[in-house]
Amino acid sequence: MKIKSRNSWFSIIEVMIAIFIFAMTMASIFMLINSSITTNILNKNHIIASNLAREQVEIIRNMRDNNYATFHKYNWIPNSSNDYSKVLETWKYYKVENDFSDPTYNYKIEEITNFWEGKSELNWKMQDYRLYLDTIAHYTYNNSWKETIFYRYLWVEELKDSSWNIIENALKLTSKVIWYAKWYHEFEIKTILADFNRL
């Protein structure tokens, strides 16, 4: 009887150890899968943000190239009223997006008059330049579509040389995308927009 009870007691301990090892293995696998999913989501958001920032820069370059082909000033912002004084101005923020409803220009550029930035402002102050996704997967500022986590803007400033002299007919652009997923993220591209005819 004693031998039997010892054997059954060892069996219970073995079963408990086996359950513990199994539980630890499953917890490790779950943590690994969860970490992998989180990393994939973060990487996906970074890729989207980088493409959104690049898209904004490409739209501005297309605007410059179109202006050059139509004999307008390189930084002229096309609009329905054909106001030729409306140009990209320094020390201002802009919303830049594709606009396929306009057959002539296919893009839209608007100044952001009330600019806010930062994690604490994401709730409501930055809604003016929050991005939305329409039914054909175009990102837009039109809030009648599906809300995304991304905010995008273009910052325009003077271009200066190493002696801090302003370079005429050239602008320094910062295309920036901001989002909050787990924590606050930013992605930006800095580039130069120059007039082809400046020399």
DSSP three-state, residue 177: strand
- Residue pair 127/112 in contact (Cβ under 8 Å)? The answer is no
Q: Spell out the per-residue pLDDT of the chain, length 199, in tens.
A: 455 555 556 688 888 888 889 889 898 888 888 888 888 889 999 999 999 999 999 999 999 998 888 888 899 998 756 666 789 999 999 999 988 877 778 888 999 988 888 888 877 889 889 999 998 888 999 989 999 999 999 999 999 999 999 999 999 999 999 999 888 999 999 999 999 876 5
pLDDT of residue 1: 45
CA 174 to mean position of chain CA atoms: 12
Can you tell me the distance from the alpha carbon of 5 to that of 31, in angstroms, rounded to the nearest whole number? 39
Task: Give the H or E element holding residue 71.
Answer: none
**Alpha carbons 118 and 76: distance in angstroms, whole number:** 30
Helix (H, G, I), strand (E, B) or coil at 74: coil
pTM attached to this predicted model: 0.81
What is the residue extent of each domain of the chain? 2-194
Matching residue, tokens 């995308």: 177
* Confidence at residue 84, expressed as pLDDT on a 0 to 100 scale: 66
pLDDT for residue 41: 87
CB 97 within 8 A of CB 139: yes
Nearest partner of 181 among 45, 61, 36, 52, judged by Cα:
45
The answer to whether residues 148 and 133 touch, using CB atoms and an 8 Å cutoff, is yes
